[in-house]
Amino acid sequence: MTGQQVCIGRSLSSEGYLMLLTLMVAIVCLSQISSVSGITFYASIDCGPHGNCSGYACQCESGYIGPHCEYQCNDTECNGHGKCNPSYSGSYGSSFCNCDKGYGGVNCSQKFDCSSLNNCSAHGYCSYDNYCTCDYEWTAANCSLPITCNKVNNCSGHGYCSGYQACSCSQGWTGADCNSVYNCSLLNNCNGRGICSADNYCYCNSQSGYYGVDCTTPYNCSALNNCSSHGVCTNNDYCTCSAGYYGTNCSLKYECVSNDECGFPNGNCMMGSCSCVFGWGGEKCQKMICPNNCNNHGNCSSPGSCTCDNGWLGSECSYSCSGIGGCGINGYCANNNSCVCYPGWQGVNCNIAKSPNCTAFNNCSGNGDCISSYGGDDYCSCYQTYYGDKCDLKYNCSSLNNCSGHGVCTNINYCTCEAGFGGKDCSSKPNCTSLNNCSGHGVCTYDDYCICNLNYGNADCSVYNPPICPNNCSGNGTCNQYSSCDCKEGYWGYDCTITCPKTKNCNSHGFCYAQDQCSCNVGWMGEDCSVPEPNCNAVKNCSYHGVCIENNVCACYTGYDGLTCADYSCRNVSNCNGHGSCVGVDTCQCKSGWRGNSDCSAFSCEAVNNCTGLGSCIGQNQCSGNPSIKCYGVVSTSGSVCSGKGTCVGTDSCQCVSGAFGSNCNSFARIPSSQLVINSVNFESVISIPVTLTGPSTYTFKWKQVGGSPSLQLSTIAVGGIVNGPGLYINANSETFNNGMVAGETYTFQVNITRADGYSTVLESSVQVGLSPVLKATIVNPSDNSQTGVAVTTKFTATIQESYDPNDSEATLMYGYGFYTESGLKVVSVYSSSKQTNLTLPYQTGGSVTAFVYVINAQTGNQKELKFSMNVSNPTSGKSASEVNSFVQNLVTSDASVSQLSIAVQLLTTSPSSDPTVVQQRTDIKQQVITTLVSKPVTTSAERDTLLTVLVSTTQSANEVSTTSVTKTLDFLVSQPSLAQNFNPSQLGQLASQILSTAVFNSTSISTSTTSKQVRTIIDAAMTATASNLAAGQSAVKTFGNIVAVVSSNTLDNLQPTIPTNSISSVGIKSISLPTASLQSLFTNSGLPSSTLVSLSLSTAPLSMYSFTQTKLASTLARIALINSNSASAIAVANLTLPIEFNLQLGGPVENGKTPKCKYFNEVSNSFTTDGIETIVISSSEIKCRVTHLTDFAIVPETSGTPTSSGSVVKPKDTISEGSSVSATLVTLLVAIFSMFFMF
């Protein structure tokens, strides 16, 4: 029980203290507590009704101040000459008011008098009686004199003006105008080794190596070998070394003195040694390296980036499904020899067709098709007139005369009529006699209303509009009814102008894509596609490291060797001279004791600190030095001397390598030497320069900028304003924040790390701000090269004219094409490496649609986007809401693309209607959209983003979402692997919010424990993804419709959340306190390293999430969780030894006869329970909850006297401190003690 603090509400007499101490000793004995020496009692701290005792001081409510919270912070108390001081504590030197200039005293009641000083001459203010504080550039007791030196020649350029006609002269200058020099002629003018700083007084330059009255006495460094000719003796027995040298006598030489020696930009010279950037290694950063050497299943094709051998996958080529024969085209490899099959396939290799199984649904009752879903159970897709999970229910239209025999009943009391019939019961045959019965070129759908066939127009469909093709197909083809050319044989292109006579029309083995340019079919090659491609299947297609020149004969690229070109070649580096292994293209991994220009031809003594101070390297890890020298008991030739991080240069004298410090070099720090950041990638992110530090001490950190322009305000742009922490985290540029960094500039930051015993090290890290890609592109209607067309119908052509990444000339570029919805959601229609594609666009209000083209570096994520304003007319113009539904229904086919489905949903918004029949039709269409969506395989991030965008659009209208739509959406999302990592967190949160707001979810028929758990899974994924983008000390507030969330990230050493109070209150929580020691113990036992970033997630959701429990809640529904930000996964928190405390705000008064209780949702009993929770009533509007696990919590009114499993209700202001772990018996005795000393 050591280290606890107890606040006592009133003063105790000496007898009271004695009795209290006696009782506490008895309690200690009863509880077998060994010591109470750490318990501190603070007497006479009564915080009154407006504060709480916290340790040894009062924490006042907002608006109250003072040592006992006895004063109300009110500006009127300051007599109109000041404002209330919110920091007033009642301590010596503190003031109730912050007074205006010229006022002071108790509550600003005194006006200071400076009348004798001309009231400061209007150039200052009276800060005390007869004392002026002058404005800038004014001086004198009454502030009447300007700070100017115009009468003393402005100090002659040899000083600065410090008062009225008063100069402060630079060293060596004197006189009223600083125009006279001191006279040191008697001292031979300091002999050129110093400055005459007063008459006959020399200030010697230490770098000259001399001192004395006239700077003629040389410093003596003979004991230091006169600095070994590599420095200057700047004090007796003290050398200042020349660049490139160090040590007491300057005899030691740095490994490097410039970045060029470290292969810049592959590395930087940091404190005399090479610090390599990611992807480079070796003594001089000359060796390209990859994580885990690509596990020997690939080659390091670029720094830090693996190109995997055929059959191996992952960023480090760490897993393969080749052991089971691969996954074919019906699935993908997700882990070692583990395939995930696409819908309709099964088996180890996904090569066995899986027949859908709906026996659980009575095989759809013969009224539907059994469909295989992706990652979920099979389900029934009912025929048009049936519904239900088993398709065993038939829509009833008996009240509509069963559609009069001219239609089909497709919903309850809803008919879909045959062409030529209308009305609710399909009994009406529309009359178009006034329109010549549509002239035989259309269908009469309503009285006097025709829908014309293709290429016919006018109200009666009498006008033929012939199709128009580009250049009329140039006479080399015919214009078909769809206004596109059918070219004659030998002609290609959208206008049939491209020919390939010189390449023999590609010999029918390809197509002509440009004049005399062929694109050959698979299996053919050559300029005219006349040469069969050789087959190298038997030699693994040359492992993609060579060219197949004959059947099963490879010509390997430089750097590769072997029959299949799978082996690395080191021929250009003498095959490593037999002293190493070939681990990359002309790249050797030398054995211990060997090195040399990547060919392992020279001896190396790296294992013995390169013999620094011990002589030269004369063999494998053999030095010519003196092995008798020891540092802290370890011989100087040992690889472990100086903690393995330095060189023993004398008895117990270590010379540490860069980053190591301490007498024995036993502290070691590293930071990234350099990194490339790109603004277009770092939106809502940070630029991180973490410190990796090991060693037995506590440390302080000081960061500053030492390179790059302009100078940055670190305290403004650093996350949380923290510039003296174990890492520098800078808010990156975004659409709403500018950190001042300029693209193309490199910024250098320096950190000074100091141990408690004074030892320190200085490290530097550079941040290069990269440039966005260059992109030029067009989107036009190919028929007239305009940006005008018809929604859904016109196929616009998007063309990339120029694109490259200025930061990476070898980058693999991908392109995205699509449009933005009216709500701002981004829909990617096409994502590929192709520089040209066709787009169909939706109709939006006003006829203007924003289309886009973007380019992205597939390796770094650097991207740039161009937007185009397109004029798109509405294909449903003039149609009723019901007709729009029919038009859209034709777009929603089983093979429709995701972007086509998005356009279909968008068209439904162009003609809003409250007609129940129309709403039901739209509900059915959206259900079909979702059914089609979730059956599609999703593999790329662009596909995932677009699919999620469409799901968000489809669920926006709360009354147009069916039960099936909700369940299919939830089933699909929770089945996705790595939901938090692969999907946009904002869209996940928005989708969860919309589902909770749908009419069907608010009914108990769909709000079940299963659906609620699925929604929680989606919300958790959004929180986890948000947490993974936060640095230590950073917090974020997210609002997704009716879901509000706050996430705060910190390290294991500092778990308390750094969230502003107003942010916490946005989720209905007034405050929260975490038992740091208890949680750290839990994490340590779980094997989490100390570098783990842990995020606290607080979120609230609509009460509809648990409407199936029919429980009335008296507060917001608060979900509290801890997240491992490094692995983007939740941390299970249960059975803590100390409680987590948080205060919930009541939503209103609790009914008479009922008591508010803290409860949590129990997933086993599917109910709210009080097990293991303690309830503490703070006030009529605030409840404190103490819990030992994390989940969903709320305040539930409970009839007074209702028994609970555990937990208790106590009076307000309970002050048992966090960390108390005494038993129930001990708590009872403490209550007795507190009762007793109120008697004294």
* Whether the Cβ atoms of residue 1193 and residue 1187 lie closer than 8 Å to each other: yes
Over range 150-157, report the average pLDDT: 86
CA 854 to chain CA mean position, Å: 21
- Strands 836-839 and 634-635, by their bridges, are unpaired
* Whether the Cβ atoms of residue 881 and residue 925 lie closer than 8 Å to each other: no
* Whether the Cβ atoms of residue 655 and residue 611 lie closer than 8 Å to each other: no
- Strands 674-677 and 760-769, by their bridges, are parallel
CATH number for the domain harbouring residue 698: 2.60.40.10
d(CA 724, CA 728): 8
Q: Is residue 258 part of a domain?
A: no
Query: How high is the pLDDT of residue 890?
Result: 82
- Indicate whether 32 and 68 sit together in one domain: no
Q: Which residues of 750-780 are buried (b: 16+ CB within 10 A; e: fewer)?
A: bbebbbeeebbbbbbbbbbbbbbbebebbbb
Q: What angle do CA 1136, 1139, 1140 make, to 5 degrees?
A: 110
Last residue of a domain, one of 181, 198, 231: 181
Over range 163-183, report the average pLDDT: 81
Question: Does the structure show a pLDDT above 70 at 795?
Answer: yes
Query: How high is the pLDDT of residue 866?
Result: 94
**Which are the contacts of 816, defined by CB distance < 8 A and separation ≥ 6?**
828, 830, 831, 852, 853, 854, 856, 942
Q: pLDDT digits over 906-926, tens only?
A: 777 767 777 888 888 888 888
CB count, 10 Å around CB of 1093? Answer: 20
Over range 520-549, report the average pLDDT: 78
- Indicate whether 122 and 105 sit together in one domain: no
CB count, 10 Å around CB of 1112? Answer: 11
Question: Does the structure show a pLDDT above 50 at 543?
Answer: yes
Largest CA distance in the chain: 128
Q: pLDDT digits over 404-454, tens only?
A: 988 889 888 888 887 778 788 888 888 888 889 899 888 887 778 888 888
- Indicate whether 737 and 695 sit together in one domain: yes
Q: What is the 3-state secondary structure (H, E, C) of 776-831?
A: EEEEEECCCCECEEECCCCCEEEEEEEEECCCCCCCCEEEEEEEECCCCCEEEEEE
Over range 784-793, report the average pLDDT: 89
Q: Return the higher-pLDDT residue of 60 and 622.
A: 60
Q: 1240, exposed or middle or buried, with CB in 10 Å at 0-12, 13-18, 19+?
A: middle
CB count, 10 Å around CB of 251? Answer: 19
- Indicate whether 675 and 749 sit together in one domain: yes
d(CA 1159, CA 1112): 12
| Structure tokens that stand for 1005 in this block | 């028929």
**Which are the contacts of 7, defined by CB distance < 8 A and separation ≥ 6?**
42, 45, 53, 54, 55, 56, 1215
Q: Is residue 364 part of a domain?
A: yes
Which of 208-212, 346-350, 727-731, 1021-1025 is predicted least confidently? 346-350
- Indicate whether 671 and 616 sit together in one domain: no
Question: Does the structure show a pLDDT above 80 at 499?
Answer: yes
pLDDT classification of 928: cutoffs 50, 70, 90: confident
* Whether the Cβ atoms of residue 656 and residue 676 lie closer than 8 Å to each other: no
Q: Bridge partners of 104?
A: 110
Helix, strand or coil, per DSSP, at residue 85: coil
Q: Is residue 804 part of a domain?
A: no
pLDDT classification of 252: cutoffs 50, 70, 90: confident
d(CA 428, CA 222): 118
Q: Is residue 764 part of a domain?
A: yes
d(CA 968, CA 62): 48
User: How many residues are given for the chain?
Assistant: 1240
Query: How high is the pLDDT of residue 258?
Result: 82
**pTM (2 d.p.):** 0.42
pLDDT classification of 353: cutoffs 50, 70, 90: low
- Indicate whether 81 and 137 sit together in one domain: no
Question: Does the structure show a pLDDT above 80 at 1232?
Answer: no
Name, of 281-295, 318-332, 939-953, the range with top average pLDDT: 281-295
Query: How high is the pLDDT of residue 54?
Result: 65
d(CA 969, CA 959): 16
Task: Please provide the average confidence, as pLDDT, over all residues in the chain.
Answer: 79
| Share above pLDDT 90 across residues of the chain, in percent, rounded to a whole number | 9
Q: Is 78 left (phi over 0), alpha (psi -120 to 50) or beta?
A: alpha
- Indicate whether 703 and 760 sit together in one domain: yes
d(CA 1094, CA 1024): 11
Helix intervals (H) in 499-624 = none
- Strands 1209-1210 and 1174-1179, by their bridges, are parallel
* Whether the Cβ atoms of residue 759 and residue 736 lie closer than 8 Å to each other: no
Q: Is residue 760 part of a domain?
A: yes
Helix axes 985-997 and 963-974, enclosed angle (nearest 10): 150
d(CA 1131, CA 1094): 9
Query: How high is the pLDDT of residue 21?
Result: 40
Which of 621-625, 708-712, 1083-1087 is predicted least confidently? 621-625
- Indicate whether 753 and 671 sit together in one domain: yes
d(CA 211, CA 194): 9
**Which are the contacts of 1188, defined by CB distance < 8 A and separation ≥ 6?**
1134, 1135, 1136, 1137, 1138, 1139, 1140, 1172
Last residue of a domain, one of 736, 754, 769: 769
d(CA 602, CA 584): 20
Query: How high is the pLDDT of residue 11?
Result: 35
**Which are the contacts of 398, defined by CB distance < 8 A and separation ≥ 6?**
none
| Structure tokens that stand for 718 in this block | 């650093």
Q: Return the higher-pLDDT residue of 310 and 340.
A: 340
pLDDT classification of 462: cutoffs 50, 70, 90: very high
Nearest to 906 by CA among 972, 956, 852: 956
Q: Is residue 119 part of a domain?
A: yes
The amino acid sitting at 942 is: A
* Whether the Cβ atoms of residue 949 and residue 938 lie closer than 8 Å to each other: no
H or E segment to which residue 844 belongs: none
Q: Bridge partners of 808?
A: none
Q: pLDDT digits over 1093-1149, tens only?
A: 888 888 888 777 887 788 888 888 889 998 887 777 888 888 888 888 988 888 777
Nearest to 582 by CA among 563, 562, 602: 562
- Indicate whether 747 and 719 sit together in one domain: yes
Q: Which residues of 892-903 are buried (b: 16+ CB within 10 A; e: fewer)?
A: beeebebbbbbb
Backbone phi and psi for residue 393, each to the nearest 5 degrees, phi listed first:
-110, 135
Q: How far is CA 864 from CA 76, 721, 734, 877, 949, in A?
A: 57, 30, 14, 35, 20
Over range 592-597, report the average pLDDT: 76
**Which are the contacts of 577, defined by CB distance < 8 A and separation ≥ 6?**
594, 599, 600, 601
- Indicate whether 752 and 685 sit together in one domain: yes
Over range 68-85, report the average pLDDT: 81
Helix, strand or coil, per DSSP, at residue 700: strand
Over range 865-881, report the average pLDDT: 87
Q: Which residues of 1005-1036 are buried (b: 16+ CB within 10 A; e: fewer)?
A: ebbebebbebbbbbbbbbbbbbbbbbbbbbbb
Question: Does the structure show a pLDDT above 80 at 309?
Answer: no
Helix, strand or coil, per DSSP, at residue 227: helix
Nearest to 403 by CA among 389, 392, 413: 413
Q: pLDDT digits over 368-404, tens only?
A: 888 876 556 788 888 888 888 899 998 999 898 999 9
- Indicate whether 74 and 167 sit together in one domain: no
Query: How high is the pLDDT of residue 329?
Result: 63
Question: Does the structure show a pLDDT above 50 at 834?
Answer: yes
* Whether the Cβ atoms of residue 886 and residue 874 lie closer than 8 Å to each other: no
Q: How far is CA 839 from CA 313, 782, 830, 897, 948, in A?
A: 33, 11, 8, 12, 20
Query: How high is the pLDDT of residue 625?
Result: 55
d(CA 915, CA 880): 11
- Indicate whether 38 and 55 sit together in one domain: no
Q: pLDDT digits over 209-228, tens only?
A: 888 888 998 888 988 898 99
* Number of independent structural domains in the chain: 8
* Whether the Cβ atoms of residue 932 and residue 942 lie closer than 8 Å to each other: no
Q: Is 1204 left (phi over 0), alpha (psi -120 to 50) or beta?
A: beta
Over range 659-672, report the average pLDDT: 90
**Which are the contacts of 355, defined by CB distance < 8 A and separation ≥ 6?**
none
- Strands 524-525 and 531-532, by their bridges, are antiparallel
Find the domain containing 86 and state its range.
47-111
Over range 31-49, report the average pLDDT: 46
Q: Return the higher-pLDDT residue of 322 and 126.
A: 126
Query: How high is the pLDDT of residue 1002?
Result: 67
Query: How high is the pLDDT of residue 1110?
Result: 80
Question: Does the structure show a pLDDT above 80 at 197?
Answer: no
pLDDT classification of 56: cutoffs 50, 70, 90: low
Helix, strand or coil, per DSSP, at residue 461: coil
The amino acid sitting at 974 is: V
Q: Is residue 90 part of a domain?
A: yes
CB count, 10 Å around CB of 456? Answer: 19
CATH number for the domain harbouring residue 169: 2.10.25
Q: Is residue 59 part of a domain?
A: yes
Q: How far is CA 957 from CA 578, 823, 882, 960, 998, in A?
A: 72, 13, 17, 5, 8
